[in-house]
Copies of this chain bind each other. A is one copy, B any other.
Amino acid sequence: MGRPSTPLLSPELIAEAALGLVDRDGEFTVAQVAAALKVRPSSLYNHVAGKAQIVEAMRGLIFRDVPRVPSGADGDWVQQVRVLLRAYRDAFAAHPRLVPMLTSQTVSSPDVMRIYDDLARILTDHAIPGDRLLDVITVLDSFVIGSALDAVAPDQVWDAEHAQDPRLAQAIRAVGAGTRRADRSFELGLDLLLAGLTHLAD
């Protein structure tokens, strides 16, 4: 008779369990994660230092499929930034209730920092001045995060019945159901921001 088998814990497995709780409840505790994994909380602490580290592991988990942009990659830089930001938005949009948790904690996940390394390299290589770099990254980040929440909003973001401006009411009604409303707005925002960055770089 061997010892009872114990689940093979890892930071990634712990992050997956925590993500399930956040997706469902908007929150998690270490005790709940342990219960979900059928282990004692003390077992988790062999793999993660605490809640903040679990949040960073969740960050790494949801962004693991955002493609790297190799230095010297083909294509113009605006297109490279677009591809990166689209993947970034989609990753956030898959876990909207995780968003406030992620934005309230310093990004330290090495895997996620690679995304920002790529973005910083592309932007500085294309003449965004170093003293505007972090502001520019923050602007793109904020737009992506808001757009991710918009991507999972209802088709009707506003109720036309309560619009008093007839042009607003008409615009809301014209959107219709099932259109790619959020994608169209996201691409327009990228157009406006990236065109503006091209001017900033001049």
Contacts and interface: CB of A to CB of B under 8 A. Distances in A.
Interface in A110-152: 110, 113-114, 116-117, 120-121, 124, 130-139, 141-147, 149-150, 152
A185 interface: yes
Q: Report the contact-size class of chain A (Cβ under 8 Å from the partner).
A: 35 or more
A120 B181 contact: no
A182 interface: yes
Nearest to A22: B26
A165 B120 contact: yes
Contacts of A116: 158, 163, 165, 168
Contacts of A121: 165, 167-168
A103 B143 contact: no
A99 interface: yes
Given A130-B167, A193-B193, 7 more contacts: A116-B158, A134-B174, A134-B181, A137-B171, A138-B150, A139-B188, A145-B149
A42 interface: no
Contacts of A191: 196
A170 interface: yes
B149 A100 contact: yes
Given A136-B188, A171-B134, A182-B138, A104 B152 contact: yes
Contacts of A13: none
